[in-house]
Amino acid sequence: MCNVTRFSVSVEPALLDAFDRRTQRAGYKNRSQAIGDVLRAYLVDAQWEDGATPVVGTVTIVYDHHSRDVARRLTELQHGHDAAIACTTHVHLTHSDCLEVIVVRGTADEVQAFADQIISSPGVKHGRLVCTAATEGLHE
Ligand code: NI
């Protein structure tokens, strides 16, 4: 850290104790580092509130590849969407289940719409969108 601002914050002692216990368990070496990450997470989440903001997300799905046409439908969805698919990783989980992680870039609205369509597709058993964004201007 080359350029930092010191500030003081007032919170209930129990809240700070719980935060310190949790962040120490997670591996943070000091409170400043943990609070910096909390602030960045808050600001990244805020970027998703404005649908026009460029963001990036990962859509993780589990589907049964025996399920009729599901793989073809998922491929068509990926080819035909406004959001740009950066890459896809496929893992053959079990005899029937496949896991796919799709990295998607676009505006927050485009990425959310793509994730909704993929996750709600017939044959998709489980899906989650993880929302993130570039953090330029949110330096460590
Ligand atoms: Ni597979």
Q: What is the pLDDT of residue 17?
A: 97
Q: What is the pLDDT of residue 18?
A: 97
Distance 89 CA to ligand 1 centre (A): 10
- Which class for 17: exposed (0-12), middle (13-18), buried (19 or more C-beta within 10 A)? exposed
Distance 98 CA to ligand 1 centre (A): 4
Q: Which residues contact 136 (CB under 8 A, 6 or more apart)?
A: none
Distance 113 CA to ligand 1 centre (A): 24
Q: What is the pLDDT along the chain (140 residues), one digit of tens a residue?
A: 568 899 999 999 999 999 999 999 999 999 999 999 999 999 998 888 988 999 999 999 999 988 778 888 888 888 887 778 889 999 999 999 999 999 999 999 999 999 999 999 989 999 999 999 887 766 55
Distance 95 CA to ligand 1 centre (A): 8
Core vs surface per residue 53-82: b (16+ CB within 10 A) or e? eebbbbbbbbbbeebeebbebbeeebeebe
Distance 99 CA to ligand 1 centre (A): 7
DSSP structure string for 65-124? TTSTTHHHHHHHHHHT-SSEEEEEEEEE-SSSEEEEEEEEEEEHHHHHHHHHHHHTSTTE
Distance 93 CA to ligand 1 centre (A): 7
Distance 3 CA to ligand 1 centre (A): 48
Look at the block and give the residue holding tokens 């046409």: 69
Distance 87 CA to ligand 1 centre (A): 16
Q: pTM for the whole thing?
A: 0.80
Look at the block and give the residue holding tokens 């990926």: 78
Q: Tell me the three state secondary structure of residue 2.
A: coil
Q: What is the pLDDT of residue 138?
A: 66
Q: How far is CA 24 from CA 29, 82, 83, in A?
A: 7, 41, 38
Distance 63 CA to ligand 1 centre (A): 9
DSSP character at residue 43: H
